Structure 1
């Protein structure tokens, strides 16, 4: 029986992992698919570089040579950047190939275009590896979308940031020391900006938004903040108060608008992502029928990412793959009296001095002075927290999972209001 012919675009860490996984799991794949999967060609930047590959494999710098492989069925894309990845995969679909990608930047920007083209051509785009390595987030959400509606997504999507925050807390080390350790272990790149500034998690969140809601918010409207300003002192107080700081990517659809962010957030032991540590990734999906569903696994690395791409391969090539279901528009507005309510949440405010003025209700739940900084745990309206964040002298952390709609009368505001000046 003729094998399934595939090609690899890129032979870096991920590309090598895919090649290795296809070889080491050849028998398992053949049992599932009924055919052997063979890499026929690999697109590289430098043909002269020595590589340990089967003799029959075409090594080329010319993408046209890849497309001209007779009987090519699948193209794995494991290169970096928006281009030429998008052009390559678009041309591969036109040629009649299924495509599988790990390129999160490209897919965040062009995923909808590729999915629409694939649907029109009767082909398939696999993109499990774009979001969280070996954690089956994409397929889990796709399965939920068969019946459930997705209300919200909350996730730890960057293993590097999670590793740094975990080790700052557990070892009491400053940010820079843990970053150096992460680089030495291969968890962080020489230039770690994409991870620690939140860009990596942002692109992944946009991919999950497209999948969950059929669209994304305007990118400029998404609050994005990295972890570079999280200090050892802050983490120590958070730990004493029973909180962990996590770099969370979150999106919720509220009627006709999105509420979305990628930023450091505090979680307590009741939060489903509280125990996700080191380089692990996890996602919690809030659904209409199944409630909250959490999936956790390895977030990155050669073999976890390769695993996601190989699983995509089996998903498309089995006799009756599940058809991707487009998400219908949501018109949920179950609270006709929403204008009578305000959203209230809990926040930790940190500064050398903290003052509250005005008429917004602020309830102080806890306070501590440590190393000349005032730490306040408060309950207040979201509008109040937004104003506080605009003050450059203050650090403001949201406590996840504490949001609630609260009917606020003026007399309640007067009782709750506490002014704190020059603590």
Structure 2
């Protein structure tokens, strides 16, 4: 049976999830994929830190140690921020490794470059986990685009914001109290700026634009508005009218100018809107297509296992269909 050598970059929530799934599902992968996946190196900031139940020799603080591994097949990346994540994946592709990432900040800016380089070196890029967590938006859209055109993308792409708006409506909480509840539950970071400002949803929308339309809009022309401007009174007034506030990432190609028009911000939606029923920390993406019509996908937007699971699914797809690249330019 073939053995696959894999490395993990970053050992936070995502990296640990990947490690756990590989070990818990080892027998399953042997039976379904015909390979034994072996984690041979894990890049961390502090290799001296004790991590119970894991061989300390797996950990390194040097990416050169990762690249020095003979026959390294795949790199799973779960680092925060654009750099050094982009540089690491760029070098991994040059070595001939498949790369799979959950880093939406990096991939929104550098995803197209990475995909072009991967094509040159005959490897694949998986990025399902960058957008909407465990919701299979990327694979679904890739399949649709073989026949359909995606004309319009709308999504709730940040679970934290959606949870806050849900609590404001269902529990009558003011924004700051709902935010604090989200932080206590671990849905929001101590610094929640990226979530509540719309920046997180914006990066994910740019990734979806690149896939759906083959290009991104000019970032400077995309209006991004957060949810911290929404008051309890506004939520109650909308509720009385049968409407709900949703933080929506929205993009389409303007038929007159042929430009991609995109925006991120609060919208009032009625019961006939596909995002109306999406509550709590769930994410959802609605695609309007020319042949299928409207398709909506809903699921968990974040977390250790939803994110790590789709990263493993990306690699399973690479193994099952090596002739087809996971990421299309």
Q: How has the CA–CA distance of structure 1 residues 151 and 77 changed in structure 2, closer, same or farther, with 3 Å as cutoff?
A: same
1:304 aligned residue = 306
Structure 2 unaligned segments of length 5 or more: list them. none
Write out per-residue CA displacement over residues 357-403 of structure 1, whole angstroms, 9 at most, x where no aligned residue: xxxxxxxxxxxxxxxxxxxxxxxxxxxxxxxxxxxxxxxxxxxxxxx
2:20 aligned residue = 20
Based on CA coordinates, which of the two structures has the bigger radius of gyration? 1
Write out per-residue CA displacement over residues 234-263 of structure 1, whole angstroms, 9 at most, x where no aligned residue: 000100101000000000101211221100
Shift of 1:319: 4.3
Partner SS state of residue 20, structure 1 = helix
Task: List aligned pairs for 1:100-249, cutoff 5 A.
Answer: 100-249=100-249
Write out per-residue CA displacement over residues 298-354 of structure 1, whole angstroms, 9 at most, x where no aligned residue: 000111110111111101112445345857xxxxxxxxxxxxxxxxxxxxxxxxxxx
Q: Give the distance between the partners of 2:97 and 2:118, measured in 1 at CA.
A: 9
**Is 1:317 aligned to 2:309, yes or no?**
no
Q: Give the distance between the partners of 2:166 and 2:232, measured in 1 at CA.
A: 11
Contact 1:40 1:57 (8 Å CA) reproduced: no
Q: How has the CA–CA distance of structure 1 residues 127 and 65 changed in structure 2, closer, same or farther, with 3 Å as cutoff?
A: same
Structure 1 unaligned segments of length 5 or more: list them. 328-423
Q: Give the distance between the partners of 1:202 and 1:137, measured in 2 at CA.
A: 16
2:273 aligned residue = 271
Shift of 1:27: 2.1
Select which of 290, 293, 308 maps to 1:291: 293
1:280 aligned residue = 282
Contact 2:126 2:327 (8 Å CA) reproduced: no
Shift of 1:33: 1.4
Q: Give the distance between the partners of 1:325 and 1:35, measured in 2 at CA.
A: 22
Q: Give the distance between the partners of 1:326 and 1:101, measured in 2 at CA.
A: 15
Contact 1:149 1:287 (8 Å CA) reproduced: yes
Shift of 1:52: 2.7
- Identify the structure with the greater helix proportion: 2
Q: Give the distance between the partners of 1:56 and 1:321, measured in 2 at CA.
A: 36
Partner SS state of residue 52, structure 2 = coil
1:405 aligned residue = none
Q: Give the distance between the partners of 1:234 and 1:190, measured in 2 at CA.
A: 26
Select which of 223, 237, 259 maps to 1:257: 259
Contact 2:124 2:325 (8 Å CA) reproduced: no
Contact 1:214 1:326 (8 Å CA) reproduced: no
**Is 1:55 aligned to 2:55, yes or no?**
yes
Structure with higher RCO (Cα < 8 A, 6+ apart): 2
Contact 2:115 2:328 (8 Å CA) reproduced: no
After TM superposition, the score normalised by the length of structure 2 is: 0.97
Contact 2:125 2:325 (8 Å CA) reproduced: no
Partner SS state of residue 279, structure 2 = coil
After TM superposition, the score normalised by the length of structure 1 is: 0.76
1:68 aligned residue = 68
Shift of 1:217: 0.4
Write out per-residue CA displacement over residues 110-158 of structure 1, whole angstroms, 9 at most, x where no aligned residue: 0000000001111000000101111111111111011101101000000
Q: Give the distance between the partners of 1:195 and 1:301, measured in 2 at CA.
A: 15
User: Which stretch shifts more, 313-322 or 11-20?
Assistant: 313-322
Contact 2:41 2:59 (8 Å CA) reproduced: yes
